[in-house]
Structure formats: structure tokens, C-alpha cells
A and B are shown apart, each in its own frame.
Chain A
Amino acid sequence: MTMVLVVDRRRRVADVVARVLCGVAALAGAGVLLLLMLHVVVNGAAALSIALFTQLPAPIGQTGGGIAHAVIGSVIIVGLACLWGIPLGIGAGVYLSETASPWLGNVARFSADVLAGIPSIVVGIFGYALIVTAMGGFSGIAGAFALGVIALPIIARTTEETLRLVPGDLREASLALGIPRWRTVLSVVVPTASAGLITGAMLAVARMAGETAPLIFTTLGNNFWNTDPTKPMATMTLTIFQYAIWPYEELHRQALAASLVLLLVVLLINVTVRLASRPGVRG
């Protein structure tokens, strides 16, 4: 009798201990994010100023100056990447969901998964080997190419998955009315899934805006105002990276301020997407 009670108590204690440990693990995970954000927000906000976005870098060692060149560089490069990555990704996704031959469908799906899985630095080397050597120099275009390669599989797969959620009845109803397949896809299927497509594209933009490794080999970065994408350009991420490894207090402050802005943009996109897609998805 006492033996049973002892065993029973041991089991209960093990149960409570395990439950508490699991709770601590979850809080630790959430706590890391809060600590990180706290650090970036507190220190970044202290260094935040209008000049940061309107001025160019001051000579090293002097205070003041900004990263306007990096902001415009990020906008141009991510914009150019969207220009080819989003239409191509959506087109490929539509093909996979609506008209794919089983063979090419599987090949494309497999390649998209492989492309999504390879390290982004390898994509950077690819951009260097393909575009930089061909153009004879580093450029914003090469960076936009590399970022597009990263975005392409993400957009293609989210597009395919979203379109598959569109009920077959809608397609059949449209086809039964004598509407050709291409009109059915473009006017019925795609508009029905448009919220999902926008979600995928926005997540890809957030991902591209935060990428650094592929840009080291393609756009290289610079310290001057440049809006010509055939020349090397600075981006927010490259500038943060550069400033972080240089031993100047002022540059560290600016890197934190730039990080704050980048963090807000990326989190804003993610939170918006989260809230917008909440009703359909199990929380």
C-alpha cells in the first residue's frame, strides 16, 4: 500500500516538473524575442533622427550623418527584385495548381523546395557567377537578381497552395458557362485567392528586405548616393553589417537605429499578414 503511494507521488512530481519545464521553455522562447526587441528599440530609438534618413554618411570618426543612400538602395533593389520575382513566382504557382503536367509539376515543385532550402549565401555566389561576371562589375541589378531567386520559390509555393484552396465548383461553374480556361483562371480563380497571393508576396518582400548575405557578392555596397542600379549600391542590411564590424561607437549607434527601422518594417509586414489571414487559419 505505501509502495503504491510512493510510486504514485513520484509520478505526480514528475508530471508537475515536466509541465513546468515545458512552460519555462515556451516563456524562454518568447522572452528572447522581447529582450531582443527591447534592446533594439531602446538603443535604436536613442539614435533615431531625421538626419539618419536624409543625410549621407559623415567621414569616419565624425558624428552625425545618415544612411539615406542605404534606404534608397534597399527600396530600389527590393523593388527590382519584386518586379521579376513576383510575376514569375505567381505564374509558376498558377501553372503548378491549374495546368501542370505531372512530370514538370513535380520537377518544378522539387526544384522550388531545393532552392528554398539552400543557404542564401550560395544564392549570392550564384548571382556573382551569373550576373556580376557577365556585367563586368557589382550592381544593384545583380542584387535584385539574387533576391528574386530567394523570393521565387516562396511565392511559387504559397501561390500554388492558396490556389488549391479555391473550390473546384467555382472553376467548373465558369467553364460550364463556356468561359475559356485562361479567362476562368485569370478572372475567377486568381481573384478569389488574391488575399493569399498578396500575403505570399508581402512575406517575400519582408524576407528580401532583411537579407544580407546574397547582397555582399552582388551589390557590394557603397558609401555614396546612388540611384543607378547598374552600379554598386548600399542597402540597409549591408550598412548595418558594415557598421557592426567597425569599431566606432557612433556607427554602432546608427546601425542600431537602422536596425530599429528595418525591424519595424519587417515585423509590421508579418503582423499585418498574420492578422489579415487569421480567420482562415487555425490560430
Chain B
Amino acid sequence: MAFPSAVARSDPLAALASKGKARRYTADLLFTAVLLVMAAAIPLLGLLLVISMLQEGLPALTTFGLQFIWGTTWNPVTHDFAVLPAIYGTLATASVALILAVPIGLGAAIFLAELAPRWIAQPVSFLIEMLAAIPSVIIGLWGLFVVVPIVRQVESLLGSNLGFLPIFSGPAYGIGLLAASVLLAVMILPIITAVTREVLRAVPSSQREAMLALGATRWETISAAVLPYGRSGVVGATILALGRALGETLAVSIIIGNSFKISGSLFAPATTLASLIATQFREADTPLYLSALMAAGLVLFAITVIVNVAARILIWRLGAQAVTR
């Protein structure tokens, strides 16, 4: 304060004002403090999550060590637990789902952002995005009643024509890796489509105009000028979808057949980490059994975190390339 304090003390109005200011200041401090606690709750919850998962999974991890990840037996009777087949199932279903969904999602996004008139693009993107809102248990139910019979037909067709390939060998159950991958593809399609569409829309129209002015067709413009420009966004959309596919539980556990085997065939029943945990949880009657399931959850958690971090690094590097070019 530049003014002598005696003046302020003698002036009742000024005294009142400074008192009000002090009260206001405490109210602001209090307000900020309450909000701070609320915001801090998010990282605290995250930390708590990691700690409690480690705590629950530790007994199994210390009992089996690295064998928990590399071993292939899951036997509750002899208390022998390892999750390699579930890791395989998780990665296999997610990869096949990406192979199915990425071309379709990319094509749909190109159509919606570049080719379709507005009156078609709007309702179609609305429908595709609503797909993301459907609860996964309903998609699983639909898959069981509708997709499995279709997949069985497709499998027997593939088996009789391309059965010499290991991935198309074996009996056509319908239920199994392929059916689970199809459902996952349905579930990640809206993510890929929506994110890619936004990315393509953000591409400056000068890119397209330059290409068209050179006499390129629409498709040449899209494939040579628009898609490369939005490449990092498309990669990001794919990885986002991969993260979702890895952790999806309900639809997969209904339809995958829950067989703890590694088979080279897409037709074979399999299991995923999430499906293993969901279906065996109620049967876990000993602490070690339960801990093994929790450790499986920890492995799943680790895989999704690795995928997300890899995605960030990839996008960051692609972004840096785009800038330096």
C-alpha cells in the first residue's frame, strides 16, 4: 500500500472496503481449493487404480513370475495359471478387427468428407456414429443370434475353397475368433469413421484445388493429396480403435467360445484377457485363482497403456515430419 495506513484506518469507508476485499479473497481461495481437490481426485483415482491392481495381482505374479505371461496352461484345479493364449486371442481378434474395419471406415470417411452431397453425408454419418452408442452387451446378443449363423456360412464357404490355408482350416463352428473379430470391427467402425472424417475435413482445400488443377481425377486427388496430408490423424484413429478393441469384454465373451487354446485357425474358439476375466471371475474360489485373474487384468492394462503411449509417440513423430517437410 502506497498510502499511509493511518489514512485508511481513519476512513470508515476504506476500512469497510478492505474488509470486504479480504473476505472476497478468502472466498476465492476457498473456491479454488475446493476445485483443486476435485481435480486432484482424477490423478489420485488413477494412482489408486494402479496400486490396487498391482496389489491384487502380485500374489499370482510372484508365484508364477514371467511364466505367467509365456505359459499356456490355465488350470484352476492344479492351480497352474498362465495367460499366453488369452494374450494371443486379444491381439488376434483386435488385429483381424482392424483389418476388417480400417478399409471400410476409411472408405466411409472418404465418402462422407469428400464425395457425398450434404443431404446424404449427414444422415449416414449420424447412423454410423449412433453405432458407437449401442451398449456392447446388445451388440453381443445380436452377434449371437444374427452374426454367428452368417459367420458359420462364410466359414464353411472359405473352408471348402481356401481350406488349405492354415487360418481357414478346421470345422466351421460360427462361434470363435472370426465372429468375435467381426463384432469388434462393428464396434470400432464408428470411431475410425468419425475421427478420419474430421481429419479429412481439416485438410485445406488448396491441397485439393492444386491437385485438381493439374488435371487429376477426384480419386487421384484424394489418394495423392488429401490422405497423405491427414495421415497422422488416420493413424491416430486406428490406434484409438485398437485400444477399444483390446479391452472390449462383453460382446467378445458372448461370442468367442472361451476356449483356452492357441490355434492358427480363425475359425477356432479362443479367449481374450477381458473375456477370460469376465467369465471366470465367479468361479474363482481361492485367493491364488482370484489373484491370477487380477494379474490378467494387469496384463491387459499394460497392453492398452503401451498401445496408447505408442500411439502418442507415433502421432507426434508423424506430426513433426509433416511440419518439417
Contacts and interface: CB of A to CB of B under 8 A. Distances in A.
Contacts of A126: 48-49, 52-53
Q: Which of A12, A25, A108, A211 counts the most B-chain CB atoms under 10 A from its CB?
A: A25
Contact of B105 (A29, A87, A114, A180): A29
A11 B114 CA distance: 18
Contacts of A104: 36, 39-40
A215 to B, nearest CB: 10
A122 B301 contact: yes
A49 B32 CA distance: 52
Interface stretch (B133-141, B153-161, B263-271, B316-324): B133-141
Nearest to A211: B135
A120 B124 contact: no
B39 A182 contact: no
A266 B131 contact: no
A29 B254 contact: no
Among B28, B248, B249, the one with the most A-chain Cβ atoms within 10 Å of its Cβ is B249
B53 A266 contact: no
B218 to A, nearest CB: 6
B77 interface: no
A241 B254 contact: yes
Contact of B304 (A15, A118, A128): A118
Interface in A48-101: 87-88, 91-92, 94-96, 98-100
Nearest to B30: A182
B19 to A, nearest CB: 14
Contacts of B116: 23, 26
A28 B162 CA distance: 25
Interface in B258-290: 274, 277-278, 281-282
A276 interface: no
Among B134, B141, B282, the most chain A Cβ lie within 10 Å of the Cβ of B141
B128 A22 contact: no
A121 B136 contact: no
Given A29-B128, A149-B45, A12 B135 contact: no
A27 to B, nearest CB: 7
B304 A119 contact: yes
B250 interface: yes
Interface centre among B136, B138, B142, B145 (most CB of A within 10 A): B138
Interface string A162-187: 00000000000000000011100100
A152 interface: yes
Interface in A6-27: 11-12, 14-15, 18-19, 21-27
Contact of B247 (A28, A119, A149): A119
Contacts of B31: 181-182, 185
Interface in B26-56: 27-28, 30-32, 34-36, 38-43, 45-46, 48-49, 52-53, 55-56
Interface in A241-280: 241, 244-245, 252, 255-256, 259, 262-263, 266-267, 270-271, 274
A104 B110 CA distance: 39
A230 interface: no
B151 interface: no
Given A25-B107, A129-B56, A259 B42 contact: no
B142 to A, nearest CB: 5
Given A33-B131, A212-B136, A245-B254, A15 B42 contact: no
Q: Which 6 A-B pairs have the closest CB atoms?
A: A119-B247, A210-B135, A25-B107, A91-B38, A182-B31, A95-B35
Given A263-B135, A282-B201, 10 more contacts: A21-B107, A29-B104, A36-B138, A104-B39, A111-B43, A122-B301, A152-B42, A182-B31, A210-B135, A262-B135
12 contacts: A30-B123, A39-B145, A91-B35, A92-B39, A95-B38, A117-B304, A121-B277, A121-B278, A210-B137, A220-B282, A237-B135, A255-B141
